[in-house]
Amino acid sequence: MRGISLAIAIVLSALAGCGEVKKAATGDGAKTSAAPAVRLRATGSSFVERMMKKWAPALESQGGRIDYQATGSGKGIQDMLNGETDFGCTDAPLTADQLSKAGGADKVVQVPLVMGGVAVVYNLTDLKSPLNLDGSVLAGIYLGTIKNWNDPAIAAINPGAGLPDKSITVCQRADGSGTSHIFTTYLSGVSADWKSKVGISTQPAWPVGQGGTKSAGVASLVEQTPGAIGYVELSFALEKKNLKSAKLKNSSGKFIEPTLEAVTAAAGALKEIPDDLVVNLTNLPGETSYPVCGTVWAVFKKDLKKDKLAAVVKSFTWALSEDGQKMAPPENYARLPDAIAAKAKEILAKLPVN
Amino acid sequence: MSSAAPAVHGSATDWSSRALRTFTAGAACLFPLSLVLAATVLTVQAYPALDKLGWQFFISSEWNVAQGRFGAVPFVYGTIITSAVAMLVAVPIGIGAATYLAEIAKPPIRLAVGFLVELLAAIPSVVYGFWGIIFLVPLLQSLYGFLGLQATGGRGLFTAGLVLALMVVPYITAVTIDALRAVPVAQRQGAYALGATRWQTIWTVVLPNARSGIVGGGFLALGRALGETMAVAMVIGNAPKLPWSIVEPGYSIPSVIANEMPGAGDNLHRSVLVALGLVLFVVSVLINLLARWLLNRQIQPAQPDSEPSHLPPINSSNVKAALAEKSIPLPPVSAWPARVNRMMTTLLCLCVVALLVPLFHIFGQVTSAGAGQISLDFFLHSANTQVNGESRPGLGHAIVGTMLLVGWATLIATPLGILAAVYCVEYRKSPLARIARFCAEIMTGVPSVLVGLVAHALLIQTLGSYLAPHPTGWAGVFALAIMMMPIVLRTAEEALLTVPDALRRASYALGATSAQTIFRVILPAASTAIITGVFLGVARITGETAPLLFTAGNSNYWQPGLEDGIKPGFFVSDMSERMPFLTYYIYNYAMSDKIEEQHLAWCGAFVLLVFVLLVNATMRLIAGRNGPSASRSG
């Protein structure tokens, strides 16, 4: 009995010590905001995870303490619909099915947060210059009709590249993913074959290939496997120096590398912005536009509790403002075009929040 | 064994004995209740899919979520193939190692190596998966390249089968050792008397005698292999296909549930996944039942050496020496059996080595990669901690989270399991006792991912509007407690059965009531064994991932009560929030591309492994060789 009490006392004092040291380590000197921040639970796209982390301190001073778990867009949407989270982040806007589950399009709010793209990464260490790929070749690879790197279709757009005689290991997302949605939207737009055989989905029926979970999983799959090809969110490709990205052919016929400038150029080519802000950002016109772009949406129900709704609206309004958006490019995300950001802020302003 | 003696009761008319009987019966009822609950929840949630898709579901191999066309064949195929590969590799090696340890090795080696083999059973699944990704996958990749096979990146059905083999071999070994040592000495003596070599004795007498025990152990291992989730999900390739070549990527039922369930809505997709889970449930239960039936026919718990120690050991060399002493002419020893004997001894020894090499490799890899990176920051920071605007993550919050989850689950499962064990022992003739024991045996074979599914369906979906509609620590505790209770029941029951009846009779003779006898005499006498059983349960649930994935959620922050110093009562108030846990980070960060996250995963794996090792070593020290062990209690 005594021994147990002693043990408990030791453990508790150790934890107390931890608390002190931790406070010092995190530099939590004075509280920055008067009211305690509302704890918001969120899950969703792994794409936006890093941005959320970077925004977290500033968002906390806006009143929302966001506990974000990167689980893939599919789970993000489901959790939000089930009420398990306060909001979700997804690379794919809600489908009609999901909207009806929420009780109708007027019960949910969808606002874009940042822009990004999907890069096609590959592992061919002997290749000197970046690989060129176009829509039909990419669709052929993912359909399984093009099986080897030295296939004539690939060689045709990569003259003199010296492609090896290696079979292509196709990598994709095994979990429900908004990135898959963006990628399959692009493929459906450039390949009628793809559109009829597979189509657009967050969980497509991939004809060939192996699956990794989240972009990090796909990135490490490709990294580990010579001769692999995969698609990941843009920021992953930009961060990793040893993962090479392919140049994709855009609608003007130019092969464009995935960069923030190319994504921003594509956004600038948007002519019309619908009221619900659901835009297809793949294959946009423009000489320097990158053809596979997308945005990350924050989705939440209008009937959240008052304090949570206020915190959510305030947080996202800040994220859409200049202060929030300017933090995006250093993290390898692209800013939203001003027109879209303005419309999104309008949507948020209309919500019944004092 | 005291189970043969009639159960002794004191006067059953005083209120404390009646209360005892009621409470312990209530605890015992929980076992059939939870089993029936699990089966019901799975069936109810799977029904929409089975109703809509019909029997087509079981013969279709299409998997198209968007268009609603589902088929179970790729997953059943993958589960079967990976388990078959695992059995093909694990059974010979496991039996070989067990034979060496039981028949040939000297007792100190048997003890030491036996402990090491049990450690293989104690290593958490995510650590196996992690090791598989870092070591096995590149190794197989180069091997495939060397053999000229299609480059598939090293992940596939064969890889998953190998990892599974490593995970289930300790179960085969442990059960086989018990089976071999239960073979009567007289059989061996007879063989030696006829001039057999040691190998001939083993092959013709001992192994056949132990056959049903060995087969039972094989089925036990098969049941485990079928339900394994995390390690397989990390190396199988996650492709819903039917590759005829086993080196290609495939999918298994538990892996698809773990990967696709989180993103599946309240619809056909989800129901289909639960239907797959139901298939797995039924198959696991059947195989587990078969295994238990075979084992009960042959095995008794490990006996101490049944040869009296004052006599010299009986083996072929001693027999020859004794015969030579008495000047009895020996029959001519043919060279061939002697050579075979030597060869097989070496082969069996190699089997043991084949087990120990991966064990040491895993420990070595985790230690070198994890211990080197560990720092105070690891324990004191959370995944979101930022120092001066820069991210300096650690996993302290996850460690505290795991401690909270495991602590509460132990607190709940231990008394319930012990009370139920008391009922099963004191009233062992009653039907409820038999049912409770039976259900507990089945429950130990249920794959952990299904426990998570059921807990999620119950606490978060169905009762969510009354409790909390989001993942909470309590839901995680519920799932872990369900997994721990059968372990506690079975080990406590064994412990109580070893208490000599004489103690009971003496206590009743002195006029004690049932309650007094149990709490003052019997439980204290069995306490050491019960405590080691609890340790076993703790070690098992600390390494669990799949059930917590669906129930505890996860959080990157410190628990709310720990954010600014320690709020008293945090271990209660924080449980209704999402709870971080260590294995979540090991699983996710192992597959990450960021070096910083991989370091955290290694550190986490190291801490987890050290903890599990300490618990197992403590168990061994307290209870000795005859105590419960990870591989024996299934």
Could you identify the residue written with the tokens 């929980």? Answer: B30
When pLDDT is cut at 50, 70 and 90, the band that residue B440 belongs to is very high
Strand-strand pairing, A210-212 and A169-173: parallel
Residues from chain A that touch B471, judged by Cβ atoms under 8 A, are 84
CA B367 vs CA B356, B466, B608: distances in Å: 16, 45, 11
Identify from A67, A94, A244, A299 which residue to disrupt to test chain B contact, counting B C-beta atoms within 10 A and taking the largest count: A67
Which residues are within 8 A (CB) of B206 and not within 5 positions of it... i.e. 6 or more apart?
A: B99, B103, B180, B183, B187, B188
Identify from B238, B390, B406 which residue to disrupt to test chain A contact, counting A C-beta atoms within 10 A and taking the largest count: B238
Q: Taking 50 as the threshold, does the pLDDT of residue B103 lie above it?
A: yes
Q: Supply the pTM of this predicted model.
A: 0.85
| Paired residues of A108 in beta bridges | A301
Higher pLDDT, B324 or B416: B416
Q: Taking 70 as the threshold, does the pLDDT of residue A318 lie above it?
A: yes
Q: Taking 50 as the threshold, does the pLDDT of residue A16 lie above it?
A: no
Q: B598-616 pLDDT, tens per residue? A: 899 999 999 999 999 899 8
Could you identify the residue written with the tokens 């050290």? Answer: B610
Residues from chain B that touch A219, judged by Cβ atoms under 8 A, are 593
Average pLDDT of span B540-560? 86
Instruction: State the ipTM, two decimals.
Output: 0.81
Amino acid at B540: R
Closest CA to B14 of B423, B517, B525, B521: B517
When pLDDT is cut at 50, 70 and 90, the band that residue B36 belongs to is very high
**Can you give the pLDDT at residue B625?**
62
Residues from chain A that touch B386, judged by Cβ atoms under 8 A, are 26, 56-57
Percent of chain B with pLDDT over 90: 43
Alpha carbon of B112: minimum distance to chain A alpha carbons (Å): 31
Rounded CA-CA distance B263/A203 in Å is 9
Lowest mean pLDDT among A162-166, B218-222, B593-597: B593-597
Q: Taking 70 as the threshold, does the pLDDT of residue A216 lie above it?
A: yes
Rounded CA-CA distance B614/B119 in Å is 10
**Can you give the pLDDT at residue A32?**
41
Average pLDDT of span B389-404? 86
Dmax (CA) for chain A in angstroms is 80
CB contact under 8 Å between B391 and A53, yes or no, is: yes
Would you say B29 and B437 are in contact if contact means Cβ atoms under 8 Å apart? no
Asked if B595 reaches chain A (Cβ–Cβ under 8 Å), the answer is no
Average pLDDT of span B313-318? 62
Lowest mean pLDDT among A67-71, B548-552, B557-561: B557-561
Instruction: State the count of interchain CB pairs (< 8 A) between A and B.
Output: 187
**Can you give the pLDDT at residue A1?**
52
Q: Say if residue A109 is exposed, middle or buried (CB neighbours under 10 Å; 0-12, 13-18, 19+).
A: buried
When pLDDT is cut at 50, 70 and 90, the band that residue B172 belongs to is very high
Residue among B377, B387, B593 whose CB faces A240 most closely:
B593
Residue among A18, A167, A210 whose CB faces B238 most closely:
A210
Residue among A16, A27, A169 whose CB faces B387 most closely:
A27
CB contact under 8 Å between B565 and A19, yes or no, is: yes
User: Of the segments A227-231, B299-303, B595-599, which one has the largest average pLDDT value?
Assistant: A227-231
Rounded CA-CA distance B469/B466 in Å is 8
Lowest mean pLDDT among A271-285, B58-72, B324-338, B584-598: B324-338
Q: A321-337 pLDDT, tens per residue? A: 998 999 988 888 888 88
Alpha carbon of A183: minimum distance to chain B alpha carbons (Å): 15
Could you identify the residue written with the tokens 């080691």? Answer: B532
**Can you give the pLDDT at residue A26?**
40
Cβ atoms within 10 Å, residue B426: 23
The number of helix segments (H) and strand segments (E) in chain B equals 27, 4
**Can you give the pLDDT at residue B42?**
94
Would you say B503 and B521 are in contact if contact means Cβ atoms under 8 Å apart? yes
**Can you give the pLDDT at residue A232?**
92
Dihedral of alpha carbons A250, A254, A257, A262, sign: negative
Lowest mean pLDDT among A241-245, B244-248, B268-272: A241-245
Would you say B550 and B453 are in contact if contact means Cβ atoms under 8 Å apart? yes
When pLDDT is cut at 50, 70 and 90, the band that residue B421 belongs to is very high
Alpha carbon of B275: minimum distance to chain A alpha carbons (Å): 19
Identify from A150, A210, A303 which residue to disrupt to test chain B contact, counting B C-beta atoms within 10 A and taking the largest count: A210
Rounded CA-CA distance B460/A82 in Å is 10
**Can you give the pLDDT at residue A265?**
87
**Can you give the pLDDT at residue B548?**
92
Q: Taking 70 as the threshold, does the pLDDT of residue B270 lie above it?
A: yes
Alpha carbon of B565: minimum distance to chain A alpha carbons (Å): 4
Alpha carbon of A350: minimum distance to chain B alpha carbons (Å): 28
Would you say B273 and B260 are in contact if contact means Cβ atoms under 8 Å apart? yes
Asked if B309 reaches chain A (Cβ–Cβ under 8 Å), the answer is no
CB contact under 8 Å between A219 and B381, yes or no, is: no
Identify from A28, A224, A301, A327 which residue to disrupt to test chain B contact, counting B C-beta atoms within 10 A and taking the largest count: A224
**Can you give the pLDDT at residue B302?**
44
When pLDDT is cut at 50, 70 and 90, the band that residue A11 belongs to is low
Q: Taking 70 as the threshold, does the pLDDT of residue B128 lie above it?
A: yes
Rounded CA-CA distance B103/B115 in Å is 17
Helix (H) or strand (E) holding B140: helix B137-147
Q: Taking 80 as the threshold, does the pLDDT of residue B199 lie above it?
A: yes
**Can you give the pLDDT at residue B301?**
44
How wide is the angle at C-alpha B132 spanned by C-alphas B130 and B133, nearest 5°?
Answer: 65
When pLDDT is cut at 50, 70 and 90, the band that residue B449 belongs to is very high
